[in-house]
């Protein structure tokens, strides 16, 4: 028993004293000689690939829009015209997630400043992704429903 504790204590003391850890197999060494697992690059979504063709970093825009940046939300909404098929599916999911994340008030502010054609695209994408009818969207997100032209203001 005492010997087991002694070994554990020495290993812990060695690690605290800056002793080099044993290198793991198959892991590349960094400049400092430490070894770590490298994350595999994540494949781009269809929407991100379409945006990349237009010189836009989709992931960065989504990150900024998720923080509530209305200007970035508007830019993402205008990108809807580039999306078709699988890209539109990804983009619809992104817009619906952003609606839930930033909230009805901020999303409505952004969509309300867009042209009628962009509002129509955003409205269709939201209804497609959420599976909600116009009634469902207007019930859960009334400001966005009014701003996108889905229903008339009361």
pLDDT tens by residue, the chain, 154 residues: 455 444 444 333 343 344 444 344 444 444 545 544 555 456 778 899 999 999 999 999 999 999 999 999 999 999 999 898 899 999 999 999 999 999 999 999 999 999 999 999 998 998 888 887 777 788 888 898 889 887 666 5
Task: Classify residue 16: in a domain, yes or no.
Answer: no
This prediction's pTM: 0.68
Task: Classify residue 68: in a domain, yes or no.
Answer: yes
Contacts 24+ apart (CB under 8 A), 76-81: 77/110, 77/111, 77/114, 77/118, 77/121, 77/122, 78/114, 78/118, 79/51, 79/54, 80/118, 80/121, 80/122, 80/125, 81/117, 81/118, 81/121
Task: Classify residue 12: in a domain, yes or no.
Answer: no
Could you list the residue range(s) of the whole structural domain that residue 115 is in? 46-147
């Amino acid at each position: 028993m005492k010997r087991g504790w002694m070994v554990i204590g020495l290993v812990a003391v060695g690690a605290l004293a800056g002793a080099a850890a044993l290198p793991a197999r198959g892991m590349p060494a960094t400049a400092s000689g430490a070894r770590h697992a490298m994350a595999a690059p994540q494949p781009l979504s269809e929407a991100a690939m379409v945006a990349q063709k237009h010189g836009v970093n989709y992931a960065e825009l989504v990150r900024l829009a998720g923080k509530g940046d209305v200007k970035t939300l508007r830019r993402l909404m205008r990108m809807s015209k580039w999306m078709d098929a699988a890209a539109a599916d990804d983009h619809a999911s992104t817009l619906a997630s952003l609606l839930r994340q930033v909230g009805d008030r901020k999303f409505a502010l952004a969509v309300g400043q867009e042209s009628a054609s962009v509002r129509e695209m955003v409205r269709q994408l939201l209804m497609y992704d959420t599976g909600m009818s116009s009634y469902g969207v207007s019930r859960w997100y009334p400001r966005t429903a009014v701003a996108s032209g889905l229903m008339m203001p009361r």
